[in-house]
């Protein structure tokens, strides 16, 4: 396995993964909290959770690929 901690591409991808995962976790938690009033919320967090969840998934696949596991094309026999 290559030394990934010194590569800037790895560090940027890891940062994107952690930020996107943090946003998903926070918005998921905030959406499940009990409401204090019956006023509608300013925005729905669901589309944002889906968008950042997709970004986190892409970053995770990219991190796995940089670690040496191939998730793409396999040679045909």
d(CA 51, CA 46): 9
**pLDDT tens-digit series, residues 16-33:** 999 999 999 999 998 888
pLDDT at 34 over 80: yes
Q: pLDDT class for 42, splitting at 50, 70, 90?
A: confident
Give the sign of the dihedral formed by CA 9, CA 49, CA 32, CA 30: positive
Q: pLDDT class for 61, splitting at 50, 70, 90?
A: very high
- Please state the length of the chain: 77
Of 41 and 63, more confident: 63
Each domain of the chain, given as residue ranges in start order, spans: 8-33+42-66
């Amino acid at each position: 396995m290559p030394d990934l901690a010194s590569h800037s591409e790895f560090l940027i991808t890891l940062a994107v993964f952690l930020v996107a995962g943090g946003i998903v976790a926070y918005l998921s938690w905030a959406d499940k909290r009990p409401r204090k009033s019956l006023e509608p919320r300013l925005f729905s967090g669901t589309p944002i959770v889906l968008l950042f969840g997709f970004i986190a998934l892409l970053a995770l696949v990219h991190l796995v690929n940089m670690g040496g596991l191939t998730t793409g094309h396999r040679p045909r026999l």
